[in-house]
Chains A and B, each alone.
Chain A
């Protein structure tokens, strides 16, 4: 498959014992949700995809993105965007500078400023560019983090328990915004969560991981070719 994110026979090991095995394609605009209790290695899978696997772990298999094998590419050259449960805005940069950090280099200053202002306006944060991120509310931070990621023009989106810190009312709203943006940009999305509601809202395939390191795919229509 040309477009989309493809995990091919990916197995993550801790030491010598396998933690997770996944073999799955995620088409543009689709969401693959990985569910399971904490400690089962969900986030480790994402680390493998972003190229930031910790020293304790090893992996076999390959990751393909838009027809290219990125398994061994440098983290910053993979064009895989990620959102964590914490907003992780850079505390030393203003909101605008955080967005500028995501924006690829090039263009005039006015162009770049316009794109930043546009991105803020898109999520209802007009005029927030000069604000200190620490002064924003949880929902505002989540929106800035999302736009910062999208401005970097990723080809896939990873979500690591992205909504678990938000309260119930905000949660649905932010979730919808993230999935909308991903769909409209035709990004393949890989989400790990332990929250069934998130998984349902994602609407795609769900892989549930248990303690026996096996996996059970709820919606197997597109996996296991």
Chain B
């Protein structure tokens, strides 16, 4: 009986786990932003925090950086993905690129950013490989490549991670858009591949992927770890400045941090609105373009460029991981040597035990959080199925909400709140904070396959006198083993990659591979970063490998599930 009562509660519980911390965190941000921090003897309302914030000389550039890098990274990664899909979907190169990019989804942002830095810095691997032969450099050129004032390196770091994300989302949407037949019709009417796709398929696909695109925009505008590693410091982006202000011993800085967090929220909301307006403009222009009947003369060139960009983006991460691996084994490695003088295990011996400890913490948090997220997700989807609940588009947006609100806007407030509850110590609160970010991804990853499951299987099973629970456990879940494990792996990877939530809510006591790796950024010890970065990448990648291997092994004698 109790189980029957629990199931209808799960959606409410899920919503609470998803939105509770966000709402509480925002509340905890709004009060100090207006000068109200009674615990410190400060009572508002006052506009002083905003006055302080707007008095900061770095604000215009910090704001420009946040907006510029966020919008640029989103536009470029979306363009690459759309054009590659337009020009190549269904072809061999596309399959190759898809295989290259899929595992990159799991690579944590911090690891990808470190890898990119190791690759493109003036003393990076690319310069070493080309020097002194091609460049004539016997010492690194004094060029501002990483941490450049325009945030281009940071933008690149975001692009290489968002391209795989958007590509996989697009692939999922393509299935529902009946893309291939549309393109075939368009081609039969004399349209080029890219033009035909953009004119017929793009509007449908974009309608499907709009929420994840907004997530990319909101994330890119407020990212902290990538900005710490690749972004400029004179001044830093607004998000980094918020974290800096949060950690200032001067209390008034906390108020300013809260004000900055609200500004960050406003910027993201504003950017989303402008983006929405841009969609309308693009749609209007697109309709004129469609009506003009142009068949697309530059299609081949555009498709080639897009494929090249996609390949470069994938290669950048792979080469970054490789050079990180080399650094982790490097003895002395002077410039411009392409490889270290000696390879040694000393770095691993030195940092190995530290990484193992952090790995334990990382794994514990990730496994608990991903499992809870999975149980809640399955509970919600099953409740929706059993109680015949129709999920509206608005409910889907609720799921995306925690991903659209910048982390820097609500995590600081959440820290204050948890502190007031006396619940600030240890990994429990960190797990709750991780759940906010893990749940949506687990849900989004599992919802489609779960809903796409042939409901007639359930009708048959019920007709065979199987109870709803028996149908769930004996039929539905086993048949969905692969998507369930994939969703679990997605959850694990998202948890492994969490930086700000672990740092702020864990109060520094919860040391995961990601917080340890980013903490190393300021010391720039490339050997240590190599070791931690690789471990971090492994922690995120291994579950994905298992999610592929386990179903293949369990269902090795079940042809009907091998591709499902």
Contacts and interface: CB of A to CB of B under 8 A. Distances in A.
Interface of A: 47, 50-52, 54-55, 74-82, 84, 86, 88, 90-92, 101-102, 104, 132-135, 148-149, 152, 154, 158
30 contacts: A47-B459, A52-B458, A52-B459, A52-B462, A55-B389, A55-B390, A75-B459, A75-B468, A76-B461, A76-B462, A76-B463, A81-B463, A81-B464, A84-B459, A88-B457, A90-B475, A90-B479, A91-B561, A92-B481, A92-B560, A101-B475, A102-B464, A104-B465, A132-B559, A132-B560, A134-B558, A152-B463, A152-B465, A154-B463, A158-B463
The 5 closest A-B pairs by CB, nearest first: A91-B560, A134-B559, A134-B560, A75-B462, A55-B388
B64 interface: no
B456 A84 contact: yes
Contacts of B467: 74, 76
Contacts, number: 88
Given A54-B388, A75-B459, A92 B479 contact: yes
Interface string B474-503: 110011010000000000000000000000
Given A74-B468, A88-B460, 4 more contacts: A90-B457, A92-B478, A101-B475, A102-B464
Nearest to A52: B459
Which range contains the number of B residues in contact with the other chain? Answer: 20 to 34
Contacts of A78: 463
Contacts of A74: 467-468
Nearest to B478: A92
A79 B464 CA distance: 8
- B389, B390, B460, B557: residue with the most chain A Cβ atoms closer than 10 Å: B460
Given A90-B475, A132-B558, A76 B389 contact: no
Contacts of A77: 465
A149 B463 contact: yes
Contacts of B560: 91-92, 132-134
Contacts of A133: 560
A47 B456 CA distance: 10
B463 A75 contact: yes
B564 interface: yes
A82 B559 contact: no
A152 B388 CA distance: 26
B555 interface: yes
A132 to B, nearest CB: 5
A82 B463 contact: yes
A25 B461 CA distance: 26
A51 B455 CA distance: 13
Contacts of A135: 559
A148 B463 CA distance: 10
Nearest to A158: B463
Contacts of B460: 82, 84, 88, 149
Contacts of B457: 88, 90
B552 interface: no
B466 interface: yes
B454 interface: yes
Interface in B363-409: 388-390
Contacts of A86: 456
B464 A149 contact: yes
Contact of B463 (A50, A92, A104, A134): A50
A152 B464 contact: yes
A102 B560 CA distance: 20
B466 A101 contact: yes
Contacts of A152: 463-465
Interface in B19-34: none
A54 B560 CA distance: 27
Contacts of B464: 81, 101-102, 148-149, 152
Contacts of A82: 459-460, 463
B465 A132 contact: no
A78 B467 CA distance: 11
A132 B557 CA distance: 7
A134 B456 CA distance: 17
A88 to B, nearest CB: 5
B339 to A, nearest CB: 49
A76 B466 contact: yes
B462 A50 contact: yes
Nearest to B551: A92
Nearest to A91: B560
A76 B481 CA distance: 24
Interface string B441-473: 000000000000011111111111111101100
B380 to A, nearest CB: 16
Nearest to A80: B463
Given A54-B388, A133-B560, A88 B466 contact: no
Contacts of A84: 456, 459-460
Contacts of B474: 101
Nearest to A90: B475
Contacts of B481: 92
A168 to B, nearest CB: 24
Contacts of A101: 461, 464, 466, 474-475
